[in-house]
Structure 1
Amino acid sequence: EQAERYEEMVSAMKKVAQLDTELTVEERNLLSVAYKNVVGSRRASWRIISSIEHKEKGKESSGHLDQIRNYCVQIEGELEAICTDVLDVLDNHLIKSAQNAESKVFYNKMKGDYFRYLAEFSHEDKRKNLATKGQEAYQAAKSAEEALPPTHPIRLGLAL
């Protein structure tokens, strides 16, 4: 983590997650930080490029619009691949292996977050579908949070 080599961290932590055992708090946090940083930089890039695209659409003659749009689509593809990857790990390994309420809340909140990230750049029906799936994941986290004390950091994180 200190080396900020998040792509490699994702790969390593994904292997740990696929062992289908309960992750320690440290392992869980490393997995979350790795994916968050890999996705976060691309989300920031997408917002910037999308903003530039929007400005270029307003101009009468913009020869760069196709290039900008293609780059935006490329970033969207990367985001979709990463989000789909983490959602697969969550659904097929982590949520199934979660033994305690803390893990269940953490993973379901994480699942909701990644559906939300996908919805950010999706359109119409796909966006609605992703938003619904995200809401379902947040609801699952909300149900599991009852076992945590009201001041528990993960429970508070869900409330935000």
Structure 2
Amino acid sequence: MPLTSLSTQARTRPEREELYFIADLAGEAGRHDDVVKQIKLIVDHFGPQLTTEERSLLSIAYKNLTNSLRNSWRIIDALHKVQSARKGPNLHLIQRQRQRIESELMGVCRDIVRLLDRDLVPAASAGEETVFYSKLKGDYCRYLAELGQKREKDRNADLSLKAYRTAYKHALATLHPLHPTRLGLALNFSVFYHDIKQSPERACHLAKSALDDAVLSVDVSDPAMDQTLRDSMAILQLLKDDIILWAGEIRD
């Protein structure tokens, strides 16, 4: 290849900092699809080892995309149930809209699961990165397990459980009990047991175990502990709230 072609190719290849800047800018503007596109370009051009900042942007983008669709789906699904009970005249229109949202939501979830399986999980380093990506797979397979036909729901529930178990086993071996990623995993894994497996007992046990381990690991003599506690306090409160809620369900 001529030297001029090589230099032209080098100039046209995007800089990583430029791709990240555009992704960050898109996130600030609420353009979450654009964030995903930019991070995928980083993976394509520079490999699947993302920085903490790039990984965070990707996670937040998919979370915003799916949260919006899940909220819409819940509203339409509730209306569908009401109209079904009343045998309303517009039931087929509501059902069509619900299916459209469901299809879009499943597409987003499958997209990130493919990215995780193909690129991010195999290249993840041991420790927090592996826990983070395996947790993400568990989360989005859990969302898929809420949708679709029974066979597909069961398959995605099994995939979610496997991903959560992998993440949790790795977290117990490599992360401090107060680490936000470990606590966030415990929170979401317990929600899986409650919402998908319909087992408030197992959900409560897992959440309480994580909370107890975190409390027992607090070392007031460690000057770095204050920052760790601040980072984890919101998740600890959510774990506590869920334990109280699920314990009430068990008593009832």
Q: Give the structure-2-normalised TM-score.
A: 0.61
- Which of 172, 178, 192 is 1:151 aligned to? 178
Counterpart residue number, 1:49: 76
Do structure 1's residue 84 and structure 2's residue 110 form an aligned pair?
A: yes
Q: Is 1:3 equivalent to 2:29 in the alignment?
A: yes
**Residue 122 (str. 1) matches residue 148 (str. 2):** yes
Aligned residue type for 2:121: I
Computing the radius of gyration from Cα coordinates, the structure with the larger value is 2
SS state at 2:102 partner: helix
**Aligned-partner Cα distance in 2 for 1:114–1:84:** 8
Residue 127 of structure 1 and its aligned partner are, at CA, apart by 1.2
What is aligned with 1:110? 136
Q: Pick one of 17, 28, 33 that aligns with 2:60.
A: 33
Task: Check the 8 A contact 1:13/1:27 in 2, yes or no.
Answer: yes
Pick which of 86-95 and 140-149 moved more: 140-149
Corresponding residue number in structure 2 for 1:95: 121
**For the residues of structure 1 that align with 2:142 and 2:131, how far apart are their CA atoms?**
16
| 3-state SS of paired residue (1:121) | coil
Q: Contact 1:150/1:156 (CA < 8 Å) preserved in 2? A: yes
Question: Which AA in structure 2 matches 1:66?
Answer: H
RMSD: 1.2
Higher relative contact order (CA 8 A, sep 6+): 1
Of all paired residues, the percent bearing the same amino acid is 40
Q: Distance in 2 between matches of 1:15 and 1:143?
A: 31
Structure 1 alignment gaps of length 5 or more: none
Is the Cα–Cα contact under 8 Å of residues 20 and 94 in structure 1 kept in the other structure? no
Letter aligned with residue 85 of structure 2: G
Shift of 1:107: 0.3
1:31 aligned partner, one-letter code:
L
Check whether the contact 1:17–1:89 (CA below 8 A) recurs between aligned residues.
Answer: no
Instruction: Give the Cα separation in 2 of the matches to 1:142 and 1:55.
Output: 39
Q: After alignment, is 104-113 or 14-23 more displaced?
A: 14-23
Q: Distance in 2 between matches of 1:21 and 1:80?
A: 23
Alpha-carbon deviations, 1:88-140, whole Å to 9, x = none?
00000000110131110000000000001111122322211111110000011
**Cα distance per residue 1:56-80 (max 9 Å; x no partner):** 00114x2211111011110111011
Aligned-partner SS, 2:146 = helix
User: What amino acid is the match of 1:80?
Assistant: M
